[in-house]
Amino acid sequence: MEHEDVEIRRSRRRRRTVSAYRDGGRTIVLMPAGFTAAQERTWVATMVAKLEAKDRRARPNDEQLAARARKLSRTYLGGHAEPSSVRWVTNQNTRWGSCTPSEGTIRLSTRLQGMPAYVVDYVLVHELAHLLVAGHGPRFWALVAAYPRTERARGFLDGVSLAKGLPDLDASEETDVLEDDVLADDGPADDEV
């Protein structure tokens, strides 16, 4: 049985397990060769639904992203960072997120969609911290450090940046730290990761 976007691959070695994954625009469902047509229909529907739920979790919409930001603010920043809007944007090709503290807006690059949730959460915490401290000085990093997976997420993003030939974001943050020494953490009004 073959569907227009679902490919079923039966295996004689499989006895009871069913698995599924995405391959480009197709869904591949692996199942035992001995399953009946009824079992196949049931398992294809089940596995497609599971993959769709996983996709939704990995790619929250703007409303879900804003709700996540509010929860992260409460959990790690005492609820002090209150963004007026949080949304995905397609025009950030060299940064993961940006924040305009004067307006309370946070924008995340759609390039983050599909990355592990802890990475998206880190970028949200980073931008939320900018609502409280504009620059990348010691006060800012103390706020961000409240998120327990900061270093792991930064390492993940550094690896992605290196693999894709993107600019070294840590180098630009070094400049911001120097500016912060002069600006006493009252850095520029628009800050970004």
Digit-coded pLDDT (tens) for 26-43: 899 999 999 999 999 999
> What sign has the CA pseudo-torsion 61, 62, 63, 69?
positive
What would the mean pLDDT of 56-66 be, rounded to a whole number?
A: 81
Residue 192: partners with Cβ closer than 8 Å, 6 or more residues away: 92, 95, 97, 98, 99
For 72, the enclosing helix (H) or strand (E) is helix 62-76
What would the mean pLDDT of 85-110 be, rounded to a whole number?
A: 93
What would the mean pLDDT of 130-155 be, rounded to a whole number?
A: 96
CATH, range 62-192? 3.30.2010.10
Query: Exposed, middle or buried: residue 99 (CB in 10 Å: 0-12, 13-18, 19+)?
Result: buried
Q: Please state, rounded to an integer, the average pLDDT across all residues of the chain.
A: 83
Task: State how far the Cα of 141 lies from the Cα of 138, in Å rounded to an integer.
Answer: 5
Domain with CATH 3.30.2010.10 in the chain: 62-192
Output phi, psi for 86, to 5 deg.
Answer: -135, 125
Task: State how far the Cα of 134 lies from the Cα of 137, in Å rounded to an integer.
Answer: 9
Confidence of residue 94 (pLDDT cuts 50, 70, 90): confident
- pLDDT for the residue 192: 55
- pLDDT for the residue 114: 81
Task: State how far the Cα of 71 lies from the Cα of 56, in Å rounded to an integer.
Answer: 18
Task: State how far the Cα of 181 lies from the Cα of 170, in Å rounded to an integer.
Answer: 17
Confidence of residue 133 (pLDDT cuts 50, 70, 90): very high
- pTM score of the predicted model: 0.65
Taken as a whole, the chain contains a residue count of 193
Among 144, 169, 149, 148, smallest CA distance to 159 is for: 169
Among 134, 44, 40, smallest CA distance to 81 is for: 134
What would the mean pLDDT of 131-157 be, rounded to a whole number?
A: 95
Task: State how far the Cα of 137 lies from the Cα of 151, in Å rounded to an integer.
Answer: 17
Contact 86, 142 (CB under 8 A): no
- pLDDT for the residue 132: 96
- pLDDT for the residue 171: 42
Task: State how far the Cα of 135 lies from the Cα of 179, in Å rounded to an integer.
Answer: 8
Beta bridge partners of 190: none
pLDDT at 108 > cutoff 80: yes
What would the mean pLDDT of 157-173 be, rounded to a whole number?
A: 73
Contact 192, 99 (CB under 8 A): yes
